[in-house]
Structures are given as C-alpha cells and as structure tokens.
C-alpha cells in the first residue's frame, strides 16, 4: 500500500553541525506534510509543516524542503544541539481525500538523531 | 491549557483482561484521534472523532477495541480480552481547523 518511508534509520552529528533528515513518500496525492520530533517516553511533538503548493518553509533553526517531482521531503536542523537528539518522523496527509480537513496522518518509520557533544 | 492529557501513563495487565484509557484533548479542539505505536515504528491511525461522532475506524481496530467520545470532549479507548500483541503505546491527539495535530504523551500498555 501507499506509505511514507525514510532513507536513513539513524543519524549521528556533532554539536553545532547542521543535520539533514530525509523522507520519501509514495502517495502522489499527498498534499500536506508534517515533521514530528519524539523523545523517549513522550508523544510526537510538532516541528514544522508544509503544504504541497510550497517547496520550502522555514522555522526557528529548522527548514523543510519539499520536492514533489521525486516525492522527497527533508528536514534541516541548523546548529544541532544535544536537545535535538530524538526520533524524527515525517507524516503525510491527503487533504483532498480528507474533505479539506487534516486527519489520518500516515507516518514513516522514523530517524534516530544523535547529537554528540 | 495544558495540552492533550492521557491517563494512565503506564498500564500492565494480564492477558484476557479488559483495559480502558482516557484522553482529554485541548478544550477548543473538535477533532480527536487515537493512534497506536509499537517500538521502532511510527504511529498508526486507529480512529477519529469529530465532536462526538466517530467518523472513521482503521482495520487495525478489531472488534475487541471500542472508542467513545460521548460529550464531544474527553474520549475513552477500551480493549477487551487483551492479547500480548496489543502491547504498544496508545497515543491520543486533537486538532481543530485553526490548529494542527497535538499529541499527548501516550499510555504504554504491556500485556503479560
């Protein structure tokens, strides 16, 4: 079936470096994407989202890039800090299928980011 | 507002017993969702409420699972005759038209 997947299951970076976490999706109808951060024992925490009519969106220290041609999504974290260590998930939704409301997210497996001091 | 609250945080139960989890969403959110997450995997959608109406159920939600949101506020998820395969983190989330998904911290269920 259609799914969202990740290229790398683990990523280790040095404190202060930039991190890039990648995600591939297969549902060409997906038009809304979210990146979540999940720390151990906690629920997923919203980081940033992007709609398919955009190819880039920036937040505080984070940037999401969307390439609809190759169905690829990435999360860039600038100046990675030890507190950024967590599992990162991308999730997708087909807003048109959902009748315009965002529900029933499909998550990928996740990438474990480890930041070394 | 303290966000989405789930209770209990942890539950250990013997196989065959029934368990019930509670979720209190963010008060102004009209949509409420239940997801299940197993170790190393992303959350999987179980069911969704808009106000008190349950609008969609995943095929993952077998007959032993039932969810309610009687007054359009808090929700409960009950699992009857638990099996070891039910062991997972059960996550609740809520949203509204003006606010995207906010997840709770989850209830970790261990069936022994």
- pLDDT tens per residue, range A44-78: 999 999 999 999 999 999 999 999 999 999 999 99
Contact A42 B42 (CB under 8 A): no
Q: CA-CA distance, B22 to A20, in Å (whole number)? A: 37
Say if A101 is an interface residue toward chain B (CB within 8 Å). yes
Count, residues in chain A: 117
Put simply, whether A108 touches B (Cβ < 8 Å) is yes
Q: How many CB atoms lie within 10 A of CB A10?
A: 10
In the predicted model, what is the mean pLDDT of residues B56-84?
A: 93
Residues sharing a CB contact under 8 Å with residue A25, sequence separation 6 or more, in sequence order: A3, A4, A5, A33, A71, A72, A73, A90, A92, A108
The span from the CA of B64 to the CA of B62, in Å, is 5
DSSP letter for each residue of B48-83: EEETTEEEEE-TTS-TTEEEE-TTSS-EEEEESS--
Predicted confidence (pLDDT) per residue in A9-51, tens digit: 899 999 999 999 999 988 888 888 999 999 998 999 999 999 9
From the list B42, B91, B95, which residue is nearest A102 (CB)?
A: B95
Verify whether the Cβ–Cβ distance A102 to B100 is below 8 Å. yes
Interface contact flag, A46 B100, Cβ < 8 Å? yes
B22 burial level (CB within 10 Å; 0-12, 13-18, 19+): middle
Contacts of B103 in chain A (CB under 8 A): 36, 43-45
């Amino acid at each position: 079936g259609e799914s969202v997947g990740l290229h790398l299951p683990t990523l280790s970076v040095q404190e202060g470096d930039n991190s890039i976490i990648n995600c591939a999706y297969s549902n060409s109808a997906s038009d809304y994407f979210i990146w979540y951060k999940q720390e151990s024992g906690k629920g997923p925490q919203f980081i940033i989202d992007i709609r398919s009519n955009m190819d880039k969106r920036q937040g505080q220290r984070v940037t999401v890039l969307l390439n609809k041609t190759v169905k690829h999504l990435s999360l860039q974290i600038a100046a990675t800090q030890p507190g950024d260590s967590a599992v990162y998930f991308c999730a997708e939704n087909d807003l048109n299928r959902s009748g315009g409301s965002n529900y029933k997210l499909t998550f990928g497996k996740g990438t474990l980011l480890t930041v070394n001091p | 507002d303290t966000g989405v609250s789930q209770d209990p945080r942890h539950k250990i139960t013997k196989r065959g017993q029934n368990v019930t989890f509670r979720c209190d969403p963010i008060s102004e959110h009209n949509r409420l969702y239940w997801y299940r997450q197993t170790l190393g995997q992303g959350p999987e959608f179980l069911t969704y409420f808009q106000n008190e109406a349950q609008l969609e159920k995943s095929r993952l939600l077998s007959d032993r699972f039932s969810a309610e949101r009687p007054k359009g506020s808090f929700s409960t998820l009950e699992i009857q005759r638990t099996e070891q395969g039910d062991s997972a983190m059960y996550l609740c989330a809520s949203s509204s038209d003006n606010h995207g998904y906010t997840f709770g911290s989850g209830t970790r269920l261990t069936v022994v």
